[in-house]
Amino acid sequence: MSDYQVKCIRRDGKDQDRRIDRLGGDGWNDTIDRVISFIQNGVHRFWTTAGGKSVWVVVKRHPTSGRLYLATENDQYPDNNLLSLPECVTS
């Protein structure tokens, strides 16, 4: 299992749950569906920083749409840590 730091995102845009399409970091960029699969199957772990601390990225299910999405562990920071990341410049 490898750990990857998430440094950027590609936003989905128009759907209500604001699901992210892609995540990226140093030397990697992948779809949210593949990242969800990697996490659920224990293949890779992903993390980012919030308030100067490392936080793990976890899979959750949206309460209204039922779609799987990514969030960070409860880290006591109210902002959405992933949505606060800059846009990835490549897909």
Residue 9 has pLDDT above 70, yes or no: yes
Q: 79 vs 34, 71, 83, CA distance in Å?
A: 24, 11, 8
Residue 91 has pLDDT above 80, yes or no: no
Q: What pLDDT is stored for residue 90 in this prediction? A: 65
Which candidate, 25, 8, 12, places its Cα nearest to that of 67? 12
Is residue 34 within 8 A of residue 24, CB to CB? The reply is no
Token couple for 4? 């990857």
Q: In degrees to the nearest 10, what's the CA dihedral of 42, 48, 51, 52?
A: 100
* Furthest CA-CA distance within the chain: 34
Give 74's contacts (C-beta < 8 A, 6+ positions apart): none
- pTM, two decimals, is 0.84
Q: What pLDDT is stored for residue 16 in this prediction? A: 57
Question: What is the arithmetic mean of pLDDT over 24-42?
Answer: 95
* 43-82 tens-digit pLDDT: 999 999 887 889 999 998 888 888 888 888 875 555 678 8
